[in-house]
Chains A and B, each alone.
Chain A
Amino acid sequence: MLPTGQDLDDLPPQPRVLLVDDDEVNLLLTAAALRERGFEVTEAPSGSDALAQLSLRAPDVVVLDALMPELDGFETCALLRATPGFESLPVLMLTGLDDEASINRAYQAGATDFFVKSPQWSLLDGRLRYLLRSSRTRNELERSKAKLARAQDLARMGSFEWWRGVAGSFLISAEGLRVFGRGPQDRLDFLSVMRMVPGDDRHVFLRLLRDVVAHTSVLITDLPLTLPDGRQRVVHIEAEPEFNEQGGVNGYTGILQDVTDRRQAEDRIRQLAHFDALTGLPNRRQLIWRVERAIESARRGGHEVGLLLIDLDRFKVINDTLGHAAGDELLIEVGRRLRGCVRHSDQIMEGVLEGLGNRSHRGLEAVGRLGGDEFVALLPEVADERDAERVAQRVLDALREPIFVGGQECFVTASVGIAIYPRDGQSMADLLRNSDVAMYAVKSQGRNASAVYSPQLAGHGKQKLELESALHKALERNEIVLHYQPKIDVRAARMVGAEALMRWQRGNVLVPPADFIPLAEETGLIVPLSEWALKEAARQAKLWSLQFGFADSIAVNLPSRLFERTDLVEHIHQCVSAYGVPHRSIQLEITENNLMKDLQNVIPSLHRLNEVGVEISIDDFGTGYSSLAYLTTLPISEVKIDRTFVRDLGITPQSSAVVTAIIALARALGLRVIAEGVETLRQMEVLHRLGCSLMQGFLFSKALPPDELERWIALTVLPRKAPWITQADGSTDLTRGQR
Chain B
Amino acid sequence: MTAPLPAAQLDSEAIRRLRELDPSGSNKLLERVVAAFSSSVDRLLADLARARAMPTPDLTVIRHVSHTLKSSSASLGATALSARCADIEVLARDGRTEGLDAQLDAMLDEIQQVRTALAALL
Contacts of A69 in B (CB 8 A): 64
Subset of 18 A-B contacts with CB under 8 Å: A22-B68, A23-B40, A23-B68, A23-B71, A23-B72, A24-B39, A25-B72, A26-B71, A26-B75, A28-B29, A28-B32, A28-B36, A29-B21, A32-B22, A96-B67, A119-B14, A119-B17, A119-B74
Tell me, yes or no, whether A33 is within 8 Å of chain B by CB.
yes
Q: A24-B40, A24-B72, A29-B21 are in contact. List 5 more A-B contacts (CB 8 A).
A: A22-B68, A24-B37, A25-B71, A33-B21, A96-B70
Q: Which residues of B in the span 17-58 have a Cβ within 8 Å of any Cβ on A? A: 17-18, 21-22, 27, 29, 32-33, 36-37, 39-40
Task: Contact check, B67 vs A67: say whether CB atoms are below 8 A apart.
Answer: yes
Q: Is A115 an interface residue (CB 8 A)?
A: no
In this assembly, does B76 line the interface, its C-beta being within 8 Å of a C-beta of chain A? yes
Interface centre among B37, B67, B70 (most CB of A within 10 A): B67
Partner of A29, one of B18, B39, B64, B67: B18
Q: Does A117 contact B (CB under 8 A)?
A: yes
Which B residues fall within an 8 A CB radius of A?
Answer: 14, 17-18, 21-22, 27, 29, 32-33, 36-37, 39-40, 64, 67-68, 70-72, 74-77
Per the bound structure, the CA–CA distance linking A36 and B27 in Å amounts to 12
A705–B22 Cα distance when bound, in Å, is: 111
On chain A, which size bracket covers the interface? 10 to 19
Give chain A's interface residues, CB within 8 Å of chain B.
Answer: 22-26, 28-29, 32-33, 36, 67, 69, 96, 117, 119-121
Main secondary structure of the interface of B (DSSP, over half): helix
The answer for the CA separation of A67 and B76 in the assembled complex, in Å, is 20
* A contact residues around B29 at 8 Å (CB): 28, 32
Write out the residue numbers on chain A whose beta carbons fall within 8 Å of the beta carbon of B17: 119-121
On chain A, the residues within 8 Å of B67 by CB distance are: 67, 96
Return chain B residues, CB-CB under 8 Å to A25. Answer: 33, 36-37, 40, 71-72, 75-76
Q: How far is the CB of A66 from chain B (nearest CB, A)?
A: 10
Q: How many Å lie between the Cα of A121 and that of B29 in the bound state? A: 16
**Central interface residue in B21, B36, B74, by most chain A CB within 10 Å:** B21
Chain A proximity of B107: nearest CB distance (Å):
16
> How far apart sit A117 and B64, CA to CA, in the bound complex (Å)?
16
Given contacts A28-B33, A36-B21, contact A119 B39 (CB under 8 A): no
Known A-B contacts A32-B27, A32-B29; A26 and B72 likewise in contact (beta carbons under 8 Å): yes
Given the complex, which residues of B lie within 8 Å of A32, measured CB to CB? 21-22, 27, 29
Q: A23-B71, A67-B67, A119-B75 are in contact. Are A29 and B33 (CB under 8 A)?
A: yes
Residues on the A chain within 8 Å of B39, using CB: 24
Q: How far is the CA of A33 from the CA of B75 in the complex (A)?
A: 12
> Whole-angstrom distance from the CB of B88 to the nearest CB of chain A?
13
Chain B residues near A29 (CB-CB < 8 A): 18, 21, 33, 75
